[in-house]
Amino acid sequence: MMWNILRRVSFRRSASKWVQLSQCYDEIPPKVQLMMRESGRQSVIRCGVLKRANGHQSLPTFLGALLADVYASDQTWLAVLLNRQVTRASSPLLIKFGEQFDTQQDGNYTRFAVPSPFLKDCNVEFLEITFLDSKQGEDECHFYIDLSDGSTKRLYRWPTVTVNDTTSSDPLPLSNQVNSSMAAEGILKFIRDKSSVSSYLQAMDRSNMSSFADRLKHKIHDRKKIFSDLGMATLKNLMDSDESLIENHISESQKQEMIRQVEGWRRQAHEELQSEVLPLLQKFLKSHLSIWRIYSYSEDKFNLRLKELVDEPLRDLKMVNLLYSLRGKLQLEGSVNSPLHNAHLFEKEVTLAHRDLNKVIYQNFFKLQLPLIVCSTMGYVSEQFSLYSMGALASLGIVLGLQRVISSWELASKKIVDNIYDAIRTYIEYESNFMIQQCNEKFAEDETKHKHKQEILNSLLQDLRK
């Protein structure tokens, strides 16, 4: 009693670990669902029978000879099975126990309910495997009997009993050799004539079907071994096919390489800022906002020149194009919020400076230049001062005004360049730090997932080896 309780507790723990393993994947891996279910003697074991891809079809006679009850009053199911014509369009056959023979057809299988003592005593069902593909893990088979003679290619390696179903009438010395046709003939003859018991027993013995059936019963009754073999095969297939487990040892080098690429982008971006962006800004300010153009440019013309700067040279910088590539490798979502793409930044900085400079021009004109020009004009008109002295006074006002404007513009230009430079420099540092942080978090998350998954796999392997 105590042993049964401990066994149930042990199974619940193991099943819980299989559930945890399934949660590590977006799609549950093949056969994991079977390992999550109850594995006691009351559970039904499903055996998949791999038939030959072409040529001699031995599956009906093999299952018929294995499951036949020669003393049953109703042998309808055996006749239907042995005469079953398998075509490409027919669905796979699923044979399970039923008190009375019944057949049903659904989208997945042709279902036979068969009153076979073998099925009832062993609590087993047989599924015909017509072909193997990526959905093999969904057929819910705990192990397989392979009649394919190697003609069927398996995607995964599952617990398999290989059987050579031959038509040879010679004695079969090997335990995996059977002659299901010979056994089926002996069974049918005995069903028709009970006096042929000797030939029936001889046929079952020479065909190796009796010996094979006994070994198969012993295997099916050992539920613990079935689930242990299936669990080991499931974990091995998983470890062989899970790229996250295979490639984890290089994840650290991948992270370091990605960080090196980000650091390289940072250096290149700063170099481009110094060698491309600053000279471009300075050239624009010198060409389109020289002291003479300040007086001649209208607001619309100034904005047009500013738009040309933002839309053309600053749009094609390497730092932005390479940033998109790096963000793609890191699979970062969201747009690149670069000040190089933010026309408002340039418009705000340059336009405000342009407007402030216009104020300086008007203030100088009305407060300095115009009063001196008026004074010099009146001094000359009143004939109290000479034309030369009044002309010098007027020129002094104009020169002083221009010097103030030039000085103001030099300060404003430097402020423009400094502000834009700081904005781009800050952006470069932010993006590089952000990408390195995301890179560390991404690989840390992958490492945590891998460690958790590996711990579950190791724990399950230990449980299965006990």
Which pLDDT belongs to residue 4? 46
95: DSSP letter = E
Lowest mean pLDDT among 163-167, 205-209, 411-415: 411-415
Which pLDDT belongs to residue 95? 94
Is the model's pLDDT at 116 over the cut of 90?
A: yes
Q: Which of 11-15, 300-304, 410-414 has the highest mean pLDDT?
A: 410-414
**3-state secondary structure string, 146-201?**
ECCCCCCCCCCCCCEEECEECCCCCCCCCCCEECHHHHHHHHHHHHHCHHHHHHHH
Nearest to 259 by CA among 447, 438, 428: 438
Strands (E), 33-135: 45-50, 93-97, 102-105, 110-114, 124-129
Using an 8 Å Cβ cutoff, are 379 and 390 in contact? yes
Is the model's pLDDT at 8 over the cut of 50?
A: no
* d(C-alpha 334, C-alpha 370), whole Å: 56
Hey, which residues does 160 pair with through a beta bridge? 144
Give the model's confidence band at 3: pLDDT under 50 very low, under 70 low, under 90 confident, else very high.
Answer: very low
Q: Concatenated DSSP letters for 388-413? A: HHHHHHHHHHHHHHHHHHHHHHHHHH
How many residues are there in the chain?
466
β-pair type (164-165, 143-146): unpaired
Rounded to a whole number, what is the distance in angstroms from the first to the last CA of the chain? 21
Q: Which of 23-37, 137-151, 439-453 has the highest mean pLDDT?
A: 23-37
Q: Residue 63's Cα: distance from chain center in Å?
A: 42
Q: How does pLDDT run across 336-356, given as a tens digit for each residue?
A: 566 655 555 666 666 666 666
Q: What is the average per-residue pLDDT within 55-70? A: 81
Is the model's pLDDT at 188 over the cut of 80?
A: yes
Which residues fall within 8 angstroms of residue 57, CB to CB, at 6 or more apart?
Answer: 51, 86
Lowest mean pLDDT among 89-103, 192-206, 236-250: 236-250
β-pair type (102-105, 45-50): unpaired
* d(C-alpha 378, C-alpha 372), whole Å: 10
Q: What is the average per-residue pLDDT within 438-448? A: 78
Is the model's pLDDT at 152 over the cut of 60?
A: no
* d(C-alpha 144, C-alpha 128), whole Å: 10
Using an 8 Å Cβ cutoff, are 233 and 158 in contact? yes
Which pLDDT belongs to residue 138? 75
Hey, which residues does 301 pair with through a beta bridge? none
Q: Which of 73-87, 90-104, 388-402, 437-451 has the highest mean pLDDT?
A: 90-104
Q: What is the average per-residue pLDDT within 212-219? A: 92
Give the model's confidence band at 112: pLDDT under 50 very low, under 70 low, under 90 confident, else very high.
Answer: very high
The residue with greater pLDDT, 156 or 51, is 51
How big is the chain by its Cα radius of gyration, in Å?
A: 44
**Which amino acid is residue 465, in one-letter code?**
R
132-144 as b/e: b if 16+ CB within 10 A: beeebbebebbbb
* d(C-alpha 236, C-alpha 239), whole Å: 5
Give the model's confidence band at 1: pLDDT under 50 very low, under 70 low, under 90 confident, else very high.
Answer: very low
Give the model's confidence band at 102: pLDDT under 50 very low, under 70 low, under 90 confident, else very high.
Answer: very high
Which pLDDT belongs to residue 390? 59
Give the model's confidence band at 377: pLDDT under 50 very low, under 70 low, under 90 confident, else very high.
Answer: low
Q: Residue 176's Cα: distance from chain center in Å?
A: 43
Give the model's confidence band at 90: pLDDT under 50 very low, under 70 low, under 90 confident, else very high.
Answer: low
* d(C-alpha 277, C-alpha 284), whole Å: 11
Is the model's pLDDT at 126 over the cut of 90?
A: yes
* d(C-alpha 328, C-alpha 253), whole Å: 19
**Other Cβ atoms within 10 Å of 123 Cβ, number:** 16
Residue 304 backbone phi and psi in degrees, to 5: -65, -45
Is the model's pLDDT at 365 over the cut of 70?
A: no
* d(C-alpha 294, C-alpha 360), whole Å: 11
Using an 8 Å Cβ cutoff, are 67 and 189 in contact? no
Q: What is the average per-residue pLDDT within 28-44? A: 78
The residue with greater pLDDT, 360 or 235, is 235
Q: How does pLDDT run across 234-271, given as a tens digit for each residue?
A: 998 888 888 777 665 556 677 788 888 889 888 998 89
Lowest mean pLDDT among 89-93, 238-242, 369-373: 369-373
Which pLDDT belongs to residue 45? 94
